[in-house]
Amino acid sequence: MNIHSNGIRGRAAPPATTREAMEFLKDFTGGVKELASTVNLLKSTWDGRKRAGRSFEESVRLVGRWVQAEVGSDEARSWCLARGLSVHRAQGGGVNSLGGALVPSDEIATIVLALVDAYGVFRDAANRSKMRGDRKITSRRTANLTANIVAEGASIPETSMTGDLIELNAKKNAIRTKISAELFEDAAFDVGLLFLQAISNALAFKEDDCGFNGNGTQTYGGIIGLLPRIIDGSHGAANVAAASGHNTYLSLDATDLSNLVGAVQGYAVPGAQWFISQRGYALTLCRLAAVAGGITRDANGNPIFMGFPVKLVQVMSQSTSSLIGSVMIAFGDLGLAATFGDRRDLRLRFSTDRYFETDEVGILGSARFDINIHDLGDASTPGPVAGLVGSA
């Protein structure tokens, strides 16, 4: 089976028999459906909103033409310049593989990062803080003011609103890949779609991995994520043990989930969400919901369980085996527990020299961010987020 540059599966030679013809039609139809599914997914993440006055299709095509221009197409370069898009490659020149990384125009960066926003669960759910530099210190409130009932003419007790500081240090999130040079000769929409998938999805996946699973090592840029924080021994109120023997998604019951909901502060309930892997969603939430008539959905088609939105987190455990001592499901308002530092300085580089012998184009993309999990309560005081932990 061959994979052609248009993304549709096909055979090298025409079918000679009826059976081969049927198999060819099946493969071709499957390829069309797969491509259509990818386009529909990206269109749904675009959320029907127009960026800079452009539709999803127009925006993807714009990115595709810009990529073609940077890779070496003079025709695409002229097209971009005529529309006010900056192109770093000179007329008739090759890709500058030795120079600094390209800083794309605001329009291109906005389109790419908009899809990173849509793909990324953690950056969408956490409190987003814009970073104008690589380091930012911001404040947070740790205690509220206290009101008192006082007698007429009596002195009013003074209370103080206390707080502390949150530090964010931007981490470089980078991806390097290579793509067949022939693919850049496709229609601009196909090139843009391929490029957006390669960059946006990878950057967002790493952000989620750091935000949920980070263990403080260099692999995660020193970030300690939500799930390790819950079970670190310092946040006992956020560590909700499932019933004895409940350590797989198939063994969790409604009581386990109710206990999890009850483990967060009341102020977090209005903005609370479920955070669970796709496997956990299917084996736990869908299974339990089936008894009560099934999963409901909001106006945008997003699942709702027990009245709260469900966020599918693919970096959380997909295992069907025992998860003793591991966070299986998280619940609460992540925006009150974590801050996502968003540097927003997308940089890109293209190279035709690095993979010259295989006729491939190298792509390197990077952006900067940081994550700080700063409020999960303590050993006895609940916070805005809690996790359900598998029990022996």
Asked if residue 364 lies in contact with residue 174, where contact means CB atoms within 8 angstroms, the answer is yes
Identify any residues that bridge with 180 across adjacent strands, giving them in sequence order.
360
| pLDDT reported for residue 85 | 82
Token pair 């939500």 is found at 226
Among candidate residues 65, 147, 76, the one with its CA nearest the CA of residue 107: 65
Write the CB contacts of 36 (distance below 8 Å, at least 6 apart in sequence).
none
| pLDDT reported for residue 306 | 93
Low-confidence ranges of the chain (pLDDT < 70): 1-54, 89-105, 118, 139-145, 160-164
| pLDDT reported for residue 223 | 96
Separation between Cα atoms, residue 225 and residue 371, nearest integer Å: 8
Identify any residues that bridge with 296 across adjacent strands, giving them in sequence order.
304
Identity (one letter) of the amino acid at 362? G
Asked if residue 251 lies in contact with residue 288, where contact means CB atoms within 8 angstroms, the answer is no
Among candidate residues 276, 253, 263, 267, the one with its CA nearest the CA of residue 329: 276
Domains and CATH numbers, the chain: 34-133+168-214+341-373 (no CATH), 225-339+376-389 (3.30.2320)
Q: pLDDT tens, 272-308?
A: 999 999 999 999 999 999 987 778 888 878 899 999 9
Mean pLDDT of the chain: 81
Separation between Cα atoms, residue 161 and residue 150, nearest integer Å: 20
| pLDDT reported for residue 34 | 47
Q: pLDDT tens, 190-222?
A: 888 878 877 888 889 999 999 999 999 999 999
| pLDDT reported for residue 127 | 92
What pTM, to 2 d.p., does this model score? 0.76
| pLDDT reported for residue 163 | 61
- Residue 121 has a CB neighbour count (10 Å cut-off) of 22
Asked if residue 49 lies in contact with residue 35, where contact means CB atoms within 8 angstroms, the answer is no
Separation between Cα atoms, residue 192 and residue 201, nearest integer Å: 13
